[in-house]
A and B are shown apart, each in its own frame.
Chain A
Amino acid sequence: MKKIALGGMVLSLIFAVSGCVIGSGHSKAPVAAGTRTLRVLTHDSFDVDKALVAEFEQANNAKVEFNKLADAGVVVNTAILDKSNPIADVLYGVDNTYLTRATQAGIFSTYISTNAGAIKSELMPAAASRGLVTPVDYGNVCLVYDKTWFEQHKVALPATISDLTQPAYKNLLVVENPSTSSPGMAFFAATIGYLGENNDAEYWHKLLVNGTKVVDGWSTAYNTEFTAGGGSGSRPLVVSYNSDPASDVYFSEGKTSPGVAVLDIPGSCFRQVEYVGILKGSKVPDLAQKWVDFMTSVKYQEDIPLKMWVYPANNEAKLPDVLTKFATEVRNVQSLDEDTIGQKRQGWLDEWQKISGE
């Protein structure tokens, strides 16, 4: 009998705990009467200071819920599939490579932030999406190199992206796969923009022959393959972001100068812009509008750089010292308008499939 009793106890314990878990799924934190909920659909890299959100919640008697999905592609797909009965009120994080697709599907209702006047004009979306979304931030996907490695090995930095196909740079570069990674796609687009669609295939073919490594995503490229990433890889050149020198100092142990730098050469950088928009069918459109205004306000914008390592779209937002000091704005940015990207994206991916022999 003892055995059964013990077994029974263990099992009932398991059930009790699982019951609590499932119960807790439904139970919400106590909220004041009349509090409304704002649902924000965003990607997995999203982050914000909790205090800021609390401030918004208090000012508007609201509760903000963040639905973080894997990446921008998932976010856009979900919103499109769910148009008739939207999963959220606001979508943040659609970038310029997906924007046209999203707006063509008609998921956004018309609204732009009251702070739009302060937003950098070059970030404003092209015709197809005008009036539907507001830029929140931008970042530049660039070639980043390990300063120490180049000094120690006495290798000159490449002066053009074509140099990367030369024997001197054999096995030195790691890039992300354009078909699985957004920085990978961005760099691929930058080379197309610079070299032209006719020459790009040959360039990439040479790049691969010269030992360029293609990995699934940014995290593997930077953390595992890059010499200055955490995993002490073997490649001193990586496709990454131009804020890296600043974050390298910020997130390290007592470093006073960055170990990495941006290779600012033509055809190596691509600007990614992220937008916020209100989804059609939102039940709290006025609250959603307030959130869009809030995200583009100076206070929120100044929180962005140290949370997501991208630049605020609002001209009046001050950058943190670590960014102004260590991350320089790049000069050679290949920017293409979203409508062009929207049209060409499929063709580029097909081309990549041919090049990589998939």
Chain B
Amino acid sequence: MGRSGKGGWMSGRRLAVSEGYIPPPTSPYLKGRRERIDIGRVLLIGMVVVFTAAWVVPVGAIWSRVLSVRSFVDVIRSPHFGKVIGFTVGQALLCTAICVVLGGWLGMIVGRYDFRGKAIYQTLLMVPFVLPTVVVALLARMIFGDATVGVSWWPIVAAHVFYNVSIVIRLTAPFWANLDEAYLDAARVAGANPLTFFGRLVWPLLLPALGAAALLVFVYCCTSFGVVLLLGGIKFSSIEVEIYRQTFNYLRLDQAAALSLLQLLVLGAFAVLYGWLTRHVVATAVTHVKRQLSVVAALHKWLYRLSLLVSFGAVLLPLLVLLFRSLLVGKQVSLHYYIALFSSSSANLLVSPLAALENSLLVAMGTVGIVAAAGLVLIFVLVERRRQSGLVRLLPYLLLAPLGISAVTLGLGMLVSPLFRSLLGTKALLVLVHSLLSMGIVLGSLLPAMSKLAPQLGEVAATLGAGPVWIFGKIWLPLMKRVLLSALIFASLISLGEFGATVMLTRAENTTMPLLMSQFLGRPGSLNFGRALAMGSLLMVLCLIGVGLMQWLQNKEF
């Protein structure tokens, strides 16, 4: 995100825009615009239909076979599931609250200040997204101790906060970076007290980004599987874990289906609530001159430094633990496990580690491609008509639904649905699923950012004779570039780390890195454990390089 002091989306040539500008009604632009709306509509509707069919068809295939009113009533009335649902929602609300406060704070620092190592800091923040579960288990033991894990609920909450706080930081930092200093100055001059200052000025501006981030965090915490399974012991269970148990061990598909429908309904209710809370979105112009913040009170400075240091340590620690463990052979440090990973001992495996590496990379790149295309369509269609109410504005929210669908249900549905039969076992199917799972974060990044763009920019350009493609390429795309890249970073990491759905939809030759890692962990012996850790470290380094690259692209002005 670079030097925030240099001005965010509108650096370099700045278009002079008067905010109240209304194009003359007879402008030839309006005619062209109507045509464009149609193309845009078709694109958007087509995309939403494809993405929606991609989850409705498989999930429907399962539900239509097993779901009944009776199983649904059974689930709702069971005290056991009542407890599970209560815990799921309760912990997710708590995690979301913590993430919002913590992430909002760190997002403010990242967005408003420059400091040495900022790019590295932002890159490292993304590490938790692909942290292998074995590292989570090791860390939880190290940090919380044997007596706490599985006995109390707070290791689960801590892990969820650790995983998700970066979403809030990432989504709110651009807001802070683009906050017009003039507003703040005006408020100061007018003598606003801190409460008014925050409540009347910062909060309404921050709400779209913060709200979207909060909703995403809530959804992720609700549907989290690995963390609850690993740290929940026998006392704590989430809806997602329960779906898994009912499906695979109790073999009660009807109850699993009822639970997954219930999960979707609960999340849907929260999404509607979110939509209602943010219905009065304040659109502000992005034209601003952000000053280098000159004098910061000493206390603030130390507070900022401390929070940066602590969070830096928190994300660096797991990485270091993983690297260290992968290099520790017996009591010596050596590259033994890395050599073993690529030597002949791995050669007669059905899938070699090198092939897994290639598979992971290809699928991640495919996902990024699809997500980028979807993001471009969203920007193209929505950027100038987000103030319109109605179908077109609401459609994209349908893309959030896959986040609420349990990966287990989605995976099983794709296996048994005839529509996906020809894709089964191909990388294309993995790309599709990973894209589905990434769309939530793309929407969460793009929609709030778009709400901040002044539509007049496009209108002015149009009256000056610019065509829609020019306006898109020259105005909206450069303005949205950083946010889009940020979303692509998330998408690539979601793809590289995804396990739950991937493990159900992979043919042997398409095994990805997380899958192969889990296969190593599934065999006893220190060599297998070491190879799994080495594989995990490689995955991490790969992610860091990828994220770093996109970070660089994001900071680059082009």
Contact = CB atoms under 8 A, between A and B. Distances in A.
Interface string A50-74: 1100000000000001111111011
B524 A253 contact: no
B24 interface: no
Interface string B187-219: 000000000000000000000000000000000
B342 interface: no
Interface string B525-558: 1111110110000000000000000000100011
Contacts of B373: 15, 18
B506 interface: yes
B525 A251 contact: yes
A56 to B, nearest CB: 14
A331 interface: no
B138 A224 contact: yes
B247 A219 contact: no
Contacts of B425: 65, 67
Interface residues of B, number: 85
Nearest to A241: B524
Interface in A319-358: 346, 349, 353, 356-358
B372 interface: yes
Interface in B470-507: 473-474, 477-478, 481, 503-504, 506-507
A179 B525 contact: no
A343 B28 CA distance: 76
Contacts of A162: none
B350 A66 contact: yes
B525 A45 contact: no
A69 B415 contact: yes
29 contacts: A7-B478, A7-B481, A14-B369, A18-B373, A24-B362, A25-B423, A45-B522, A50-B350, A65-B425, A70-B503, A70-B504, A78-B416, A81-B416, A87-B424, A178-B249, A179-B249, A213-B146, A216-B230, A219-B518, A219-B522, A220-B134, A231-B325, A240-B524, A251-B525, A251-B527, A253-B330, A346-B250, A356-B235, A358-B234
Interface string B139-151: 0010000100010
Interface string B413-425: 0011010010111
Contacts of B272: none
A160 B526 CA distance: 29
Nearest to A19: B369
A216 to B, nearest CB: 4
Interface string A165-186: 0000001000001111000010
Which of A48, A73, A178, A218 counts the most B-chain CB atoms under 10 A from its CB? A73
B contact patch SS: helix
B540 to A, nearest CB: 17
B260 interface: no
B508 A68 contact: yes
A14 B533 CA distance: 30
Interface stretch (B101-109, B175-183, B426-434): B426-434
Contacts of B134: 219-220, 223-224, 231
A197 interface: no
A344 to B, nearest CB: 13
A8 B558 CA distance: 10
B348 interface: yes
Interface in B65-94: 65, 80
Interface of A: 2-4, 6-8, 10-11, 14-15, 17-22, 24-26, 44-51, 65-71, 73-74, 76-78, 81-82, 85, 87, 101, 171, 177-180, 185, 208, 213-220, 222-225, 229-231, 233-234, 240-241, 244, 247-248, 250-253, 309, 346, 349, 353, 356-358
A244 B522 CA distance: 12
A237 B357 CA distance: 35
Given A219-B522, A309-B523, 4 more contacts: A15-B369, A49-B348, A230-B533, A251-B523
B366 to A, nearest CB: 3
Contacts of A68: 506-508, 511
